[in-house]
Amino acid sequence: MSDLERDVHKEIDDMHVFFVEWFNGTADKNSYEEKFVSRFDPAVIFIGPNGMLLDYENLMAMMREAHGSNPDFRIAIRDVTIRHESDTQVVATYTEWQRNAMNSDNADNGRLTTVMLSRGKPLRWLHVQETWLPEDIATAGPYNF
């Protein structure tokens, strides 16, 4: 595994550990700026699997309000793959498996996510696009996490 692959994988994993802790309410509210806000470029666009588009301000506000909103929420990240890289950016995909997701149509669900990150130390999130996995794949799981 290259250094870039390792860095991208770690960034994606670390972000989702934060999501779980934030939604569970176990993350210190004072960690919000350092562990979430600082990772995003101010021009970031997030497109959820339902097609809802959030800009930086709306994404930050939505996440701030979500602290402790889903105590049993869990995420597993699988299949992180770099799809394209340049001197300044990297595009990667991964599957995200969620358990007990209260705000999703299906509490246990899967999604394919494409992320564009700016290269450097640290990596910065520029664009996120989530797409629901086909129902037959999502219902089959795995949800053993």
Confidence at residue 3, expressed as pLDDT on a 0 to 100 scale: 95
Tokens of residue 33, six digits: 């700026």
Residue 145 included in any domain: no
Over the chain (145 residues), what is each successive 10-residue block's mean pLDDT? 96 98 97 97 97 98 97 97 98 97 89 97 97 94 91
Give the count of domains, the chain: 1
CA distance linking residue 72 with residue 12, whole number of Å: 21
Tokens of residue 17, six digits: 């550990």
Confidence at residue 102, expressed as pLDDT on a 0 to 100 scale: 87
Confidence at residue 108, expressed as pLDDT on a 0 to 100 scale: 94
Confidence at residue 15, expressed as pLDDT on a 0 to 100 scale: 98
Confidence at residue 52, expressed as pLDDT on a 0 to 100 scale: 96
Domain that holds residue 19: 3-65+73-140
Alpha-carbon radius of gyration of the chain = 15
CB 114 within 8 A of CB 128: yes
| DSSP β-ladder status, 124-132 and 40-47 | parallel
Question: pLDDT by residue (tens digit) across 114-131?
Answer: 999 999 889 999 999 999
Confidence at residue 13, expressed as pLDDT on a 0 to 100 scale: 98
CATH of the domain at 103: 3.10.450.50
> Any idea which residue has 């562990």 for tokens?
35
pTM for the whole thing? 0.94
CA distance linking residue 17 with residue 10, whole number of Å: 10
